[in-house]
Amino acid sequence: MERYRVFVTRAIPQEGLEILGRFCDVEVSAIPGAIPREVLLEKVKGKHGILALLTDTIDREVMEAASETLRVISNYAAGFNNIDVEEATRRGIMVTNTPGVLAETTADLTFALLLAVARRIVEGDKLVRSGQFTGWDPLLLLGEDVYGKTLGIVGLGRIGKAVARRALGFSMQVLYYSRRALPKEEEKALRVRYVELPELLQCADFVTLHVPLTEATHHLIGERELAMMKKSAYLVNTSRGPVVDEKALVRALREGIIRGAALDVFENEPDVEEELLTLPNVVLAPHIGSASLATRTRMAMMAADNLVKALRGERPEYLVNPEVLKG
Protein backbone atom coordinates (compact mmCIF):
# COMPACT_ATOMS: atom_id res chain seq x y z
CA MET A 1 0.00 0.00 0.00
CA GLU A 2 1.30 3.42 -0.96
CA ARG A 3 2.44 5.58 1.95
CA TYR A 4 1.63 9.22 1.39
CA ARG A 5 4.00 11.98 2.43
CA VAL A 6 2.31 14.63 4.58
CA PHE A 7 3.55 17.78 6.28
CA VAL A 8 1.75 19.21 9.33
CA THR A 9 2.68 22.86 9.88
CA ARG A 10 2.32 22.79 13.68
CA ALA A 11 1.72 20.25 16.43
CA ILE A 12 -1.94 19.23 16.71
CA PRO A 13 -3.72 16.88 19.16
CA GLN A 14 -2.35 13.35 18.99
CA GLU A 15 -5.64 11.81 17.87
CA GLY A 16 -5.32 13.57 14.52
CA LEU A 17 -1.73 12.46 14.04
CA GLU A 18 -2.73 8.87 14.76
CA ILE A 19 -5.28 8.95 11.92
CA LEU A 20 -2.64 10.32 9.55
CA GLY A 21 -0.07 7.77 10.69
CA ARG A 22 -2.17 4.82 9.54
CA PHE A 23 -1.72 5.77 5.90
CA CYS A 24 0.95 8.46 5.76
CA ASP A 25 4.54 9.22 6.58
CA VAL A 26 3.98 12.30 8.69
CA GLU A 27 6.38 15.14 9.37
CA VAL A 28 5.29 17.71 11.95
CA SER A 29 6.97 21.08 12.26
CA ALA A 30 9.15 21.13 15.37
CA ILE A 31 9.25 24.92 15.47
CA PRO A 32 7.20 26.49 18.30
CA GLY A 33 4.55 28.85 16.98
CA ALA A 34 3.90 29.78 13.36
CA ILE A 35 6.29 28.21 10.90
CA PRO A 36 8.62 30.69 9.15
CA ARG A 37 7.87 31.16 5.46
CA GLU A 38 11.23 29.88 4.23
CA VAL A 39 10.90 26.71 6.32
CA LEU A 40 7.37 26.09 5.03
CA LEU A 41 8.55 26.37 1.43
CA GLU A 42 11.28 23.83 2.08
CA LYS A 43 9.19 21.35 4.07
CA VAL A 44 6.33 21.03 1.55
CA LYS A 45 8.62 19.84 -1.25
CA GLY A 46 7.50 16.48 -2.58
CA LYS A 47 4.57 16.20 -0.16
CA HIS A 48 1.22 14.69 -1.17
CA GLY A 49 -0.69 16.58 1.51
CA ILE A 50 -0.37 19.62 3.75
CA LEU A 51 -2.27 19.98 7.01
CA ALA A 52 -2.20 23.73 7.57
CA LEU A 53 -3.36 26.19 10.20
CA LEU A 54 -5.12 29.50 9.71
CA THR A 55 -1.81 31.23 10.45
CA ASP A 56 -0.19 29.64 7.38
CA THR A 57 -0.52 31.42 4.05
CA ILE A 58 -0.85 28.70 1.45
CA ASP A 59 -0.54 30.48 -1.88
CA ARG A 60 0.82 29.86 -5.35
CA GLU A 61 4.41 29.96 -4.13
CA VAL A 62 3.78 27.21 -1.59
CA MET A 63 1.93 25.07 -4.14
CA GLU A 64 4.77 25.49 -6.63
CA ALA A 65 7.27 24.50 -3.95
CA ALA A 66 5.32 21.31 -3.27
CA SER A 67 5.31 20.59 -7.03
CA GLU A 68 2.98 18.19 -8.85
CA THR A 69 2.83 15.72 -5.96
CA LEU A 70 0.51 17.92 -3.88
CA ARG A 71 -3.07 16.62 -3.92
CA VAL A 72 -4.75 18.13 -0.86
CA ILE A 73 -4.49 21.07 1.56
CA SER A 74 -6.39 20.32 4.74
CA ASN A 75 -7.07 23.41 6.85
CA TYR A 76 -7.31 22.98 10.62
CA ALA A 77 -9.95 25.73 10.84
CA ALA A 78 -13.52 26.54 9.92
CA GLY A 79 -12.32 29.35 7.66
CA PHE A 80 -9.96 29.11 4.72
CA ASN A 81 -9.07 32.70 3.83
CA ASN A 82 -5.40 31.76 4.34
CA ILE A 83 -5.52 29.51 1.26
CA ASP A 84 -5.62 30.59 -2.38
CA VAL A 85 -8.52 28.28 -3.21
CA GLU A 86 -8.76 29.50 -6.80
CA GLU A 87 -5.12 28.63 -7.45
CA ALA A 88 -5.51 25.26 -5.74
CA THR A 89 -8.54 24.46 -7.88
CA ARG A 90 -6.69 25.44 -11.03
CA ARG A 91 -3.96 22.98 -10.07
CA GLY A 92 -6.40 20.19 -9.22
CA ILE A 93 -5.63 20.36 -5.49
CA MET A 94 -8.45 19.67 -3.03
CA VAL A 95 -8.95 22.15 -0.18
CA THR A 96 -10.79 21.08 2.98
CA ASN A 97 -11.75 22.68 6.30
CA THR A 98 -13.34 21.82 9.65
CA PRO A 99 -16.68 23.67 9.85
CA GLY A 100 -19.40 23.26 12.45
CA VAL A 101 -17.30 21.50 15.07
CA LEU A 102 -16.29 24.72 16.80
CA ALA A 103 -19.64 26.55 16.74
CA GLU A 104 -20.77 25.80 20.29
CA THR A 105 -17.32 26.32 21.80
CA THR A 106 -16.88 29.67 20.06
CA ALA A 107 -20.36 30.73 21.11
CA ASP A 108 -19.42 29.93 24.72
CA LEU A 109 -16.39 32.20 24.44
CA THR A 110 -18.45 34.93 22.79
CA PHE A 111 -20.74 35.05 25.78
CA ALA A 112 -17.80 34.81 28.18
CA LEU A 113 -16.26 37.90 26.55
CA LEU A 114 -19.59 39.72 26.47
CA LEU A 115 -20.13 39.15 30.18
CA ALA A 116 -16.51 39.94 31.01
CA VAL A 117 -16.54 43.35 29.35
CA ALA A 118 -20.04 44.28 30.53
CA ARG A 119 -19.35 43.37 34.17
CA ARG A 120 -15.71 44.56 34.13
CA ILE A 121 -14.41 41.20 35.32
CA VAL A 122 -10.86 41.65 34.04
CA GLU A 123 -10.58 45.04 35.76
CA GLY A 124 -11.86 43.45 38.95
CA ASP A 125 -9.38 40.60 38.72
CA LYS A 126 -6.50 43.08 38.37
CA LEU A 127 -7.78 45.10 41.32
CA VAL A 128 -7.86 42.07 43.60
CA ARG A 129 -4.47 40.71 42.47
CA SER A 130 -2.81 44.10 42.92
CA GLY A 131 -3.90 44.31 46.56
CA GLN A 132 -5.98 47.44 45.93
CA PHE A 133 -9.32 45.85 46.85
CA THR A 134 -10.30 47.36 50.20
CA GLY A 135 -13.79 45.92 50.53
CA TRP A 136 -17.29 46.26 49.12
CA ASP A 137 -18.18 49.72 47.86
CA PRO A 138 -21.50 50.82 46.32
CA LEU A 139 -19.69 52.57 43.45
CA LEU A 140 -16.97 49.99 42.80
CA LEU A 141 -16.58 48.87 39.15
CA LEU A 142 -20.16 49.53 38.10
CA GLY A 143 -20.83 47.68 34.86
CA GLU A 144 -23.85 46.99 32.67
CA ASP A 145 -26.60 44.39 32.90
CA VAL A 146 -26.80 41.79 30.16
CA TYR A 147 -30.15 40.29 31.12
CA GLY A 148 -33.02 41.74 29.09
CA LYS A 149 -30.82 43.81 26.77
CA THR A 150 -30.73 43.83 22.96
CA LEU A 151 -28.15 41.67 21.21
CA GLY A 152 -27.20 42.35 17.60
CA ILE A 153 -25.66 39.39 15.77
CA VAL A 154 -23.81 40.11 12.53
CA GLY A 155 -23.64 36.84 10.60
CA LEU A 156 -26.17 34.17 11.56
CA GLY A 157 -24.32 31.04 10.51
CA ARG A 158 -23.63 28.13 12.84
CA ILE A 159 -21.81 30.24 15.43
CA GLY A 160 -24.27 33.13 15.22
CA LYS A 161 -27.19 30.77 15.77
CA ALA A 162 -25.42 29.19 18.76
CA VAL A 163 -24.95 32.67 20.24
CA ALA A 164 -28.64 33.44 19.65
CA ARG A 165 -29.65 30.31 21.56
CA ARG A 166 -27.55 31.39 24.52
CA ALA A 167 -29.13 34.83 24.45
CA LEU A 168 -32.53 33.25 25.14
CA GLY A 169 -31.28 32.29 28.60
CA PHE A 170 -30.66 35.97 29.31
CA SER A 171 -34.09 37.03 27.97
CA MET A 172 -32.38 39.19 25.36
CA GLN A 173 -34.08 40.62 22.31
CA VAL A 174 -32.01 39.36 19.37
CA LEU A 175 -31.60 41.25 16.11
CA TYR A 176 -29.51 39.83 13.29
CA TYR A 177 -28.03 40.89 9.98
CA SER A 178 -26.78 38.30 7.51
CA ARG A 179 -26.35 37.80 3.78
CA ARG A 180 -29.72 36.10 3.72
CA ALA A 181 -32.67 36.24 6.08
CA LEU A 182 -33.68 32.95 7.65
CA PRO A 183 -37.03 31.33 6.86
CA LYS A 184 -39.72 32.78 9.12
CA GLU A 185 -40.21 29.49 10.99
CA GLU A 186 -36.50 29.35 11.85
CA GLU A 187 -36.55 32.99 12.99
CA LYS A 188 -39.50 32.15 15.21
CA ALA A 189 -37.74 29.13 16.73
CA LEU A 190 -34.60 31.16 17.50
CA ARG A 191 -36.64 34.25 18.50
CA VAL A 192 -34.59 36.50 16.25
CA ARG A 193 -35.56 39.35 13.92
CA TYR A 194 -33.78 40.33 10.70
CA VAL A 195 -32.78 43.99 10.26
CA GLU A 196 -30.33 45.79 8.01
CA LEU A 197 -26.90 46.50 9.48
CA PRO A 198 -27.45 50.23 10.27
CA GLU A 199 -30.59 49.46 12.27
CA LEU A 200 -28.83 46.67 14.15
CA LEU A 201 -25.94 48.96 15.07
CA GLN A 202 -28.28 51.73 16.19
CA CYS A 203 -30.49 49.49 18.36
CA ALA A 204 -28.21 46.88 19.91
CA ASP A 205 -26.69 47.11 23.38
CA PHE A 206 -24.21 44.39 22.39
CA VAL A 207 -22.99 43.69 18.85
CA THR A 208 -21.27 40.37 18.13
CA LEU A 209 -19.50 39.54 14.86
CA HIS A 210 -19.64 36.07 13.27
CA VAL A 211 -18.84 36.55 9.58
CA PRO A 212 -16.10 35.01 7.43
CA LEU A 213 -13.30 37.25 6.20
CA THR A 214 -13.92 38.21 2.58
CA GLU A 215 -13.44 41.33 0.48
CA ALA A 216 -16.98 42.33 1.46
CA THR A 217 -16.41 41.91 5.20
CA HIS A 218 -12.94 43.48 5.43
CA HIS A 219 -13.38 46.49 7.77
CA LEU A 220 -17.12 45.80 7.87
CA ILE A 221 -17.02 47.66 11.18
CA GLY A 222 -15.17 50.93 10.78
CA GLU A 223 -15.45 54.54 11.86
CA ARG A 224 -18.86 55.07 10.25
CA GLU A 225 -20.37 51.91 11.72
CA LEU A 226 -18.97 52.53 15.20
CA ALA A 227 -20.50 56.01 15.14
CA MET A 228 -23.92 54.43 14.53
CA MET A 229 -23.73 52.42 17.73
CA LYS A 230 -25.09 53.56 21.09
CA LYS A 231 -22.57 55.28 23.34
CA SER A 232 -23.50 52.63 25.91
CA ALA A 233 -22.93 49.72 23.49
CA TYR A 234 -20.26 47.01 23.41
CA LEU A 235 -18.63 45.30 20.43
CA VAL A 236 -17.53 41.63 20.59
CA ASN A 237 -15.43 40.06 17.82
CA THR A 238 -14.70 36.34 17.70
CA SER A 239 -14.73 36.07 13.89
CA ARG A 240 -11.65 37.45 12.09
CA GLY A 241 -9.56 40.44 13.11
CA PRO A 242 -9.69 42.41 9.83
CA VAL A 243 -13.50 42.50 9.98
CA VAL A 244 -12.92 45.44 12.37
CA ASP A 245 -10.85 48.52 11.57
CA GLU A 246 -8.69 48.37 14.69
CA LYS A 247 -7.49 51.98 14.53
CA ALA A 248 -11.10 53.19 14.28
CA LEU A 249 -12.02 50.97 17.22
CA VAL A 250 -9.24 52.45 19.34
CA ARG A 251 -10.56 55.95 18.66
CA ALA A 252 -14.11 54.88 19.46
CA LEU A 253 -13.06 53.35 22.78
CA ARG A 254 -10.79 56.23 23.71
CA GLU A 255 -13.33 58.94 22.85
CA GLY A 256 -16.38 57.24 24.35
CA ILE A 257 -18.12 56.64 21.03
CA ILE A 258 -18.90 53.15 22.38
CA ARG A 259 -18.53 51.95 25.95
CA GLY A 260 -16.38 48.88 25.45
CA ALA A 261 -15.18 46.00 23.32
CA ALA A 262 -14.03 42.41 23.71
CA LEU A 263 -11.76 40.85 21.09
CA ASP A 264 -10.53 37.32 20.53
CA VAL A 265 -9.01 38.15 17.13
CA PHE A 266 -6.88 41.01 15.81
CA GLU A 267 -6.30 42.73 12.51
CA ASN A 268 -2.60 41.89 12.27
CA GLU A 269 -2.22 38.82 14.47
CA PRO A 270 -0.21 38.19 16.50
CA ASP A 271 0.46 41.94 16.63
CA VAL A 272 -2.13 44.01 18.46
CA GLU A 273 -2.79 47.72 18.02
CA GLU A 274 -0.61 49.12 20.80
CA GLU A 275 -3.20 51.42 22.35
CA LEU A 276 -5.65 48.54 22.78
CA LEU A 277 -3.23 47.15 25.35
CA THR A 278 -3.60 50.24 27.53
CA LEU A 279 -7.36 50.85 27.35
CA PRO A 280 -9.33 49.67 30.40
CA ASN A 281 -12.62 49.27 28.49
CA VAL A 282 -11.49 46.41 26.24
CA VAL A 283 -11.05 42.72 27.05
CA LEU A 284 -8.42 40.91 24.96
CA ALA A 285 -8.14 37.16 24.42
CA PRO A 286 -5.45 35.32 22.37
CA HIS A 287 -7.62 33.76 19.62
CA ILE A 288 -9.03 30.97 21.79
CA GLY A 289 -12.56 30.79 20.38
CA SER A 290 -12.29 27.05 19.68
CA ALA A 291 -9.80 26.31 22.47
CA SER A 292 -11.45 23.54 24.41
CA LEU A 293 -9.72 20.18 24.58
CA ALA A 294 -12.70 18.36 23.10
CA THR A 295 -13.18 20.78 20.21
CA ARG A 296 -9.53 21.06 19.22
CA THR A 297 -9.29 17.26 19.29
CA ARG A 298 -12.35 16.92 17.03
CA MET A 299 -10.86 19.51 14.67
CA ALA A 300 -7.62 17.53 14.45
CA MET A 301 -9.50 14.33 13.68
CA MET A 302 -11.66 16.03 11.04
CA ALA A 303 -8.66 17.66 9.36
CA ALA A 304 -6.79 14.35 9.32
CA ASP A 305 -9.80 12.44 8.01
CA ASN A 306 -10.30 15.02 5.23
CA LEU A 307 -6.68 14.69 4.19
CA VAL A 308 -6.60 10.88 4.24
CA LYS A 309 -9.83 10.55 2.24
CA ALA A 310 -8.52 12.95 -0.41
CA LEU A 311 -5.27 11.03 -0.75
CA ARG A 312 -7.08 7.68 -0.99
CA GLY A 313 -9.26 8.91 -3.85
CA GLU A 314 -12.39 9.42 -1.77
CA ARG A 315 -14.40 12.63 -1.53
CA PRO A 316 -13.64 14.41 1.77
CA GLU A 317 -16.74 15.29 3.75
CA TYR A 318 -15.71 18.94 4.08
CA LEU A 319 -14.46 19.82 0.61
CA VAL A 320 -14.24 23.57 -0.01
CA ASN A 321 -13.75 23.36 -3.79
CA PRO A 322 -15.90 20.48 -5.11
CA GLU A 323 -15.40 21.76 -8.67
CA VAL A 324 -11.89 20.29 -8.51
CA LEU A 325 -13.46 16.84 -8.88
CA LYS A 326 -14.96 17.75 -12.26
CA GLY A 327 -11.57 18.12 -13.92
Residue pair 320/80 in contact (Cβ under 8 Å)? The answer is yes
Look at residue 279 and give its three-state secondary structure.
Answer: coil
Give the residue among 165, 158, 50, 36 at the shortest CA–CA distance from 111: 165
Residue pair 318/97 in contact (Cβ under 8 Å)? The answer is yes
Tell how strand 206-209 and strand 234-237 pair up.
Answer: parallel
- Return d(Cα 88, Cα 63) in angstroms, integer: 8
Residue pair 226/200 in contact (Cβ under 8 Å)? The answer is no
Alpha helices in 132-219 (DSSP H): 158-168, 184-190, 197-203
Residue pair 41/64 in contact (Cβ under 8 Å)? The answer is no
Cis bond leading into 270, ω under 30°?
yes
Given the residues 210, 240, 259, 296, select the one marked as catalytic: 240
Active site residue 218: no
Look at residue 327 and give its three-state secondary structure.
Answer: coil
Given the residues 64, 87, 187, 269, select the one marked as catalytic: 269
Active site residue 287: yes
Query: If DSSP states are collapsed to H, E and C, what string results for 77-140?
Result: CCCCCCECHHHHHHCCCEEECCCCCCHHHHHHHHHHHHHHHHCCHHHHHHHHHCCCCCCCCCCC
Given the residues 191, 219, 251, 287, select the one marked as catalytic: 287
Active site residue 269: yes
End-to-end Cα spacing for the chain: 26
Counting beta carbons within 10 angstroms of the beta carbon of residue 57, is it exposed (0 to 12), middle (13 to 18) or buried (19 or more)? middle
* DSSP code of residue 68: G
The catalytic residues are 240, 269, 287
